Every structure is written in structure tokens, then in C-alpha cells.
Amino acid sequence: MQITEDRLLDARGLLCPMPVVKAGKEIKSLEPGQVLKILATDRGSVADMPAWAEDTGNELIEWHEEDGVFVYLVRKGQEA
């Protein structure tokens, strides 16, 4: 099933900690249940995004790599 995002964060070219910092900022503007799509090229984000999502009560629906770009779909949690 194709999940469409409510907001897109382009964090390509940015290194740690900026993808997570920007994701933390963006998700604040969403309502619980809405989906944030994040694009990143930072290889560290593969470990950081799941950790950030889990720790903040958001749900990492899925992630994959597409031509060197890491794509993350995060659903905002009820208590996040």
C-alpha cells in the first residue's frame, strides 16, 4: 500500500545531527497520525532515525534506500 506523506523534509546533504534536529522540528507541526517523509544522505541516519522515532514515541513505518538517498516514513505518535 502506498503511504502518502503530509509533509516532506529534504535533509539531503546534511550530516549528523541536522537530519534528526530538522525531523524533530518538522514533526512538531504535524497532528498525531500524520506522516512525515524524510530524505537523507547521511549514512548515520540509518541508525539515528529509528532511534529518534522510537525514543520520541513516533512510528517509523518504513525506510529504504533509493539511489543513495535514505527515505524514511514516520507517523506522528499520539503522545509525541
Closest separation in Å from C-beta 51 to other proteins: 8
**Under 8 Å CB-to-CB from 18, ≥6 apart: which residues?**
11, 42
Say how many CA atoms lie within 13 Å of 57 toward its Cβ.
7
DSSP 8: E
Which one of 5, 6, 12, 16 is the catalytic residue?
A: 16
To the query of whether residue 25 is one of the catalytic residues in this protein, the response is: no
Decide: 62 and 73 in contact? Cβ < 8 Å. yes
Closest separation in Å from C-beta 75 to other proteins: 16
Site string for other proteins, 43-62 (x = CB under 8 A): ---------x--xx------
Decide: 49 and 60 in contact? Cβ < 8 Å. yes
* Span 2-41, contacts to other proteins by CB under 8 A: 13-18, 20-21, 23-25
The binding site for other proteins (CB under 8 A) comprises 13-18, 20-21, 23-25, 52, 55-56, 80
